[in-house]
Chain A
Amino acid sequence: MSDFGFRMWGTRCNMNALGHLTEIPREEYMTPGHLACQGCGAALAMRLLLKGLGPDTVLVVPACCWSVINGPWHATAVAVPFLHTAFAAAASTAAGVRAAFAIRGVRASVVAWAGDGGTFDIGLQALSGAAERGSSDLYVCYDNEAYMNTGIQRSSATPWGAWTMTTPVPAVKRRPKKPILDIMAAHRIPYAATASVGHPEDLIAKVRRARAREGTRFLHILAPCPPGWRILPEQTLHLARLAVETRLFPLVEVEDGARLRITVMPRGERSVREYLAGQGRFQHLAADEIAAIQSAVEAAWAALLARAARPGNGGEPAGHAGNDTRT
């Protein structure tokens, strides 16, 4: 699996095998010398995001791994402007940048780029406010499922059963991951989607679809973290794909808060055991706990399929005909 990921770089791959035809742009907007750990899903997520967005982009980044990854003062690891801001302030700072660009007549994608802590937890109020106001920004959460920059503490994105430094065995996290995509879609924003660094063609296609819409757009990218997940750097892509294939992290998009589509349909039956067993943070789980996770995943997947198949797909707001005009 990991071979697959690496072979893609610098080539224009035909992704027919995955049901998509997407070219991965050759252009690089990340530079060598960034400070990410080996196998960092967040570094890969940024690389793919920028390939999807292109040069007219401005990043607004709160406290998160990327505050460090981008490099020390006087340096930057991306070929677009990068504005650091406070932890709770990604969406609100981005809204200010967007307002200023509107006054100046500058055309650019203003992207708030935050980790799961800065999105699910401390930054949720500002994000909800921006979404409610319809601030025309793209908000991207790269989710490594804990406070990894501060050394692996649980966040509300940490999955049920996971070990972290603040949920040590046996007192591991006993609450489910916060359903951030549902929360954002419930704001009736034009576009909300999940993506995974293990499915770059799907990720880039979603970045482009998000870019084509006005208003608040939200992307939730699963980004494995080798030190935090207790995995080897070469397992990042394998696990990112496995999360999707086991249906633990479905790849979906929701337009206008209503029309949900599953964008990558997993084939075959793969047990969550395979995903969990590969990670140190789940090593303590007993067989019955893994079975409980499997049941929860199956129930959630069945509900998702039912929702996607529902006529009208969740009830559409007035003024939005059912036709999907997506190309």
Chain B
Amino acid sequence: MKRVLEGNHAASYGALLARVEVVSAYPITPQTQIVEKLAEFTADGRLRARFLEVESEHSAMAACIGASQAGVRAFTATSSQGLALMHELLHWAGAGRLPIVLVNVNRALAPPWSIYADQTDSLAQRDTGWMQIYCRSNQEVLDSVLLAYRVSEQVGLPTMLCLDAFLLSHTSEPVDVPEQAVADAFLPPYRPVLRLDPAVPRAFGGLAGADVFMEIRHQAQEAMDRALSLIVEAGEEYRALTGRGYGLVDGYRTAGAEILILGMGTIATTAEAAVDELREAGIPAGLLRVRVFRPFPAEALARGIGEARKLVVLDRNLSPGSGGILATELRAALLARDLAPGIWSYIAGLGGRDVTPAAIVSACREAVAEPAPGPGIRWLGLRA
């Protein structure tokens, strides 16, 4: 059934269809509508869940950890400062191998205060052991909640689902809301093998010596590796059920592309317009959208890049002292595969700065004009 939904409510409908059982959250702009809607679903009985209105994001994630360890499907949503406050427990959920799904609305971190789009908040959490998915449409947000639980529960890892503040969170789009029966066919009830049961005196998370700690981390890495193919598999199965499939990376006009734009989230939609303009001007440009950032889809990216010799990477984030996080990780992954296309690394759209098709076209024209990018990062649309 088609509905006109803002991105936040698309996330709520995804959680409703996933039949989440415990929702624990704390308000923060621009996430709040996600959990408000879930409170409404819980109150009117459409969702059989416990809703915990906790006193902080730290407690929100702790309650999700307790609920997930006790064997139910747990959900939360947050943004920016809230995600940063959760940091300690993000590690706990990841290393605890708990298949929690968190929707993060990508918002800049203060100071200075800003409530606008910026992906530094979630990318700063890339080492916490969570899978990360960056969405470009409200439809993808809804579908990805189901996809996230499916794969999370298969491999025992949590998933962070990211959407850009306001550009998706508060923007309404037509969204196909699948029938519950379709969601149920895709996502079976959560039945973990290991869970808290009063009759079984297990200890979870106890002191590990150096003799076993590395093996435990190694298993988490293996789970991430396994997730790469399971994400693709789940996406294909979802396509068979709904007509909409999702992978690790998707492309736009990549055939014969000599210059490829790479980005995550809504910036990719804008970049499609830039690709069209460049193609019209006779420049063989294309787009690779990185949908899944953790596990990092190095193989899929290497395949997608193919013969392209110039990459323009748009990072709506900044690791100060290093640069754009996608560009950095991409460079490392390609180098490990003896691929060395030129990478023009742009910092773009921080704190909600508008990234226009024209700005992306100008970045690509720089790459076309220059034989090699040289070291260093570039700032798209930086005021003089």
A interface residues, Cβ below 8 angstroms from B: 55-58, 60, 67-68, 70-76, 78-86, 88-89, 91-104, 106-108, 125-126, 128-129, 132-133, 135
Contact = CB atoms under 8 A, between A and B. Distances in A.
Contacts of A129: 54-56, 59
Interface of B: 21-22, 24, 48-50, 52-56, 58-60, 62-72, 74, 88-89, 92, 196-209, 212
Nearest to A29: B201
Contacts of A80: 198, 201
Main secondary structure of the interface of B (DSSP, over half): mixed
Contact of A104 (B55, B69, B71, B204): B71
B22 A81 contact: no
A108 B208 contact: no
B19 to A, nearest CB: 11
Contacts, number: 173
Contacts of A107: 198
A102 B58 contact: no
A43 to B, nearest CB: 16
Most interface-central of A57, A78, A96, A135 (chain B CB within 10 A): A96
A103 B203 contact: no
Contacts of B198: 55-58, 80-81, 106-108
B45 to A, nearest CB: 14
A90 to B, nearest CB: 9
B52 A133 contact: yes
A210 to B, nearest CB: 17
A102 B50 contact: yes
By Cβ-Cβ distance, the 3 closest A-B pairs, closest first, are A96-B66, A129-B55, A100-B70
Contacts of A81: 196-198, 200-204
Contacts of A126: 54-56, 58-59, 62
Contacts of A103: 21-22, 48-50, 72
Nearest to B216: A73
B246 to A, nearest CB: 29
Given A83-B69, A92-B66, A93-B62, A99 B200 contact: no
B66 A94 contact: yes
A96 B207 contact: no
For A67, A73, A86, A92, which residue has the most chain B Cβ atoms within 10 angstroms? A92
A152 B200 CA distance: 34
Contacts of B199: 55
A103 B65 CA distance: 15
Contacts of A125: 55-56, 59
7 contacts: A82-B206, A88-B62, A95-B52, A96-B24, A96-B70, A100-B69, A128-B55
Given A72-B206, A72-B207, A85 B66 contact: yes
A88 B58 CA distance: 8
A96 B64 contact: yes
Nearest to A62: B62
Contact of B63 (A57, A71, A73, A96): A96
A95 B66 contact: yes
Nearest to B209: A72
B197 A106 contact: yes
B54 A95 contact: yes
Contacts of A84: 203-206
Q: Which of B21, B48, B62, B68 has the most CB of A within 10 A?
A: B62
